[in-house]
Chain A
Amino acid sequence: GDSVTQMEGPVTLSEEAFLTINCTYTATGYPSLFWYVQYPGEGLQLLLKATKADDKGSNKGFEATYRKETTSFHLEKGSVQVSDSAVYFCALSDYNQGGKLIFGQGTELSVKP
């Protein structure tokens, strides 16, 4: 079945450092890909999305490119802030699987001043 694998956390960075959180997926069809973010004490918020190969999703300085050839959707940000500390979830939605959201296990990011 479809699955999503993320790099394990926690990831600890200093403010203004470069961030990469790796995400790879397996899917039988042509899924849409998402990054969600969960701040402490809150639910999940959609951060960005990409619906087809080579699409780049971007929001709040974060970017991720849908790479079909490597089945990846890595999250990047050039300069992180303390306020980016949260748990980040990579997810896919495959129409062939009833549109169900399949989540990775989440990666905790901690940014120190």
Chain B
Amino acid sequence: ETGVTQTPRHLVMGMTNKKSLKCEQHLGHNAMYWYKQSAKKPLELMFVYSLEERVENNSVPSRFSPECPNSSHLFLHLHTLQPEDSALYLCASSPQRQSNQPQHFGDGTRLSIL
């Protein structure tokens, strides 16, 4: 039990589909993160939310649209994705954004773009 739950675990979609990834944390944390993990590449931080406000967007294409309706839930809305977007998408949370506390990760959503 990681305390951070991601759904779905696997997603296959065409380039014209619209889908959403969901992340929920049960740890009472105030900061949440989206990462992209591609084969043979370091983890890429995509978005950071602190108290439901987006505080960082690392030059992510607009076909990825995050949403944080409350401090426990984080979504990543996907639209018109490209084959190179196939990857493992990881959600994480931490007590506060600006702290040296560790982040807690979910098990990820394995996304495949046809």
Instruction: Report the Cα distance A103→B106, complex, angstroms.
Output: 17
Are A31 and B42 closer than 8 Å at their CB atoms?
no
| Interface residue from B56, B102, B107 paired with A43 (Cβ < 8 Å) | B107
A contacts with B, residue count (CB < 8 A): 24
A19 in the interface (beta carbon within 8 A): no
Q: Is B47 an interface residue (CB 8 A)?
A: no
Q: Say how far B86's CB is from chain A's closest CB, in angstroms.
A: 16
Query: Nearest chain-B residue to A103 (Cβ)?
Result: B43
A44 touches B90 (CB 8 A): yes
Q: Is the CB of B100 within 8 A of A95?
A: yes
Main secondary structure of the interface of B (DSSP, over half): loop
CB-CB contacts below 8 Å: B75-114 with A? 90, 92, 94, 96-108
Q: Verify B105–A43 contact, CB threshold 8 A.
A: yes
Q: Which residue of the partner chain A has the closest CB to B110? A: A41
Nearest chain B residue, comparing its CB with the CB of A98: B98
Chain A contacts for B103, CB-based, 8 A: 46, 101
Scoring B94, B102, B104, B107 by chain A CB atoms within 10 A of each residue's CB, the highest score goes to B102
B59 on the interface (CB 8 Å rule)?
no
- Report yes or no: B42 in contact with A106, Cβ–Cβ below 8 A: yes
* A46 engages B104 (CB within 8 Å): yes
* B42 contacts A51, C-beta separation under 8 Å: no
Q: Which of B90, B100, B107 has the most CB of A within 10 A?
A: B100
For residue A69, CB closer than 8 A to chain B, the reply is no
Q: Are A34 and B102 in contact (CB under 8 A)?
A: yes
What are the residues of chain B within 8 A of A49 when measuring CB–CB?
A: 102
A46 touches B43 (CB 8 A): no
Cβ contact within 8 Å between A99 and B105: no
Minimum-distance CB pairs A-B, first 10: A32-B100, A43-B105, A44-B105, A43-B107, A99-B98, A93-B100, A103-B43, A46-B102, A43-B108, A105-B42
- Pairs across A and B, CB under 8 Å, 10 listed: A45-B105, A46-B103, A46-B104, A49-B102, A93-B101, A95-B100, A99-B97, A99-B98, A100-B48, A101-B103
